[in-house]
Structure 1
């Protein structure tokens, strides 16, 4: 509940990695990872037809909730979601492979400092990553629904203060 409150009225972006794409993911900003919560689950396909057909698909599939703080102390949460043929998430700062047979701790405390663009981990096939930021951030101006993102391209930006007429 406390983590949800930190992101309430905030911003999120969903990145779908197709099977033909690069399967590694990188830190979207300078950050410090403090905990990973591994949640075992299904491995449904995450393509658009499956998302329409399977209610709450992202909440049913295997995933890792990565709790991090940005350089300014703001919370950031990344959620790599496994999919069919994946069922394996690798994170560089953990010495375990997170997959359906993993029986270790569900919450995994850690302390990993990452620089923007540094590789965080990878899937063994295509999947999805959800990034949540607190209020005050919005989608980068050159992105929209269905846009293809290139490595190093900004996903979010601080929202501009609104000007009020007097």
Structure 2
């Protein structure tokens, strides 16, 4: 097979993937999946999980339970104790979840990117001028959770949760193929903006972004699920102190988390685009500490 034919074949596969996961009634399919996944029937659950395993790298050996009453229970499964230790160094900000590292780098005058050559506005993402200004020249990292991964996310550092807002939107797929083809995708999808400050005082923002089949995000600080059916008010004030590693909530399938940090943090050497990372492993180190090493 020639290089030209290989490229053509790869392009056709991307076209098919994009067609099957995006050129469909995304909202209706997402609502159906939300309903279907909560059916508590052993036969339905077992058959669904078996089919899921056929088309993914789903590994349930780390799960604390061996049987699940529904597909939803499998999606949001807990792990056996001690499997995701969080780096205890107070100068380290860790990954809040398992995921694949995507675009990351410096936010330049309020602009970041979903892939190279595809910028978007921080203000469009968070829909709050004050938050956008806070992180105008900070740094960011994108973590993508696939459907088979552990879906719970945790506090990446000791912090205080201050404010949560929900921004209604679409449910585009968030895989790399869609990111190449849909401009400003993260600014179009359903998402939450979780404003916090670290124990040392720096502002830190967590943006969970929903996707097709997953437009529901459970946040323990609010004791509720946020999704397309959530009615106003869509902004919530809170004052929750959490320790590094404390569980913040979960996605009901796979999706993306964008983290916005101050400019005085430096990426750890292990951070590389495309690398898989587990919850609790280092993402950033406070730059003063990094310079003094």
Same fold (TM over 0.5): yes
Deviation at 1:151, TM superposition (A): 2.1
Higher relative contact order, chain-length normalized (CA < 8 Å, sep 6+):
1
Corresponding residue number in structure 2 for 1:83: 211
Number of matched pairs: 162
Partner of 2:186: helix, strand, or coil? helix
Residue 278 (structure 2) pairs with residue 150 (structure 1): yes
Deviation at 1:161, TM superposition (A): 4.1
Deviation at 1:3, TM superposition (A): 1.6
Structure 2 gaps, min length 5: 1-128
Separation of aligned partners in 1, 2:232 and 2:250: 19
Corresponding residue number in structure 2 for 1:72: 200
Residue 134 (structure 2) pairs with residue 6 (structure 1): yes
Q: Which has the larger radius of gyration?
A: 2
Corresponding residue number in structure 2 for 1:95: 223
Partner of 1:4: helix, strand, or coil? helix
Contact 2:206-2:257 at 8 Å conserved across structures: yes
- The structure richer in strand per residue is 1
CA RMSD of superposed structures (Å) = 1.2
Deviation at 1:97, TM superposition (A): 1.2
Contact 1:8-1:135 at 8 Å conserved across structures: no
The superposition leaves residues 52-74 of structure 1 with CA deviations (integer Å, 9 ceiling, x where unpaired) of: 11111100000000000000110
Corresponding residue number in structure 1 for 2:182: 54
Contact 2:153-2:279 at 8 Å conserved across structures: no
Corresponding residue number in structure 2 for 1:35: 163
Separation of aligned partners in 1, 2:207 and 2:173: 16
TM superposition outliers: structure 1 runs of 4+ over 3 Å? none
TM-score normalised by the chain length of structure 2: 0.54
Separation of aligned partners in 2, 1:38 and 1:135: 25
- The structure richer in helix per residue is 2
Residue 160 (structure 2) pairs with residue 63 (structure 1): no
Structure 1 gaps, min length 5: none
The superposition leaves residues 4-52 of structure 1 with CA deviations (integer Å, 9 ceiling, x where unpaired) of: 2221221111000001111111110000001001001101110000011
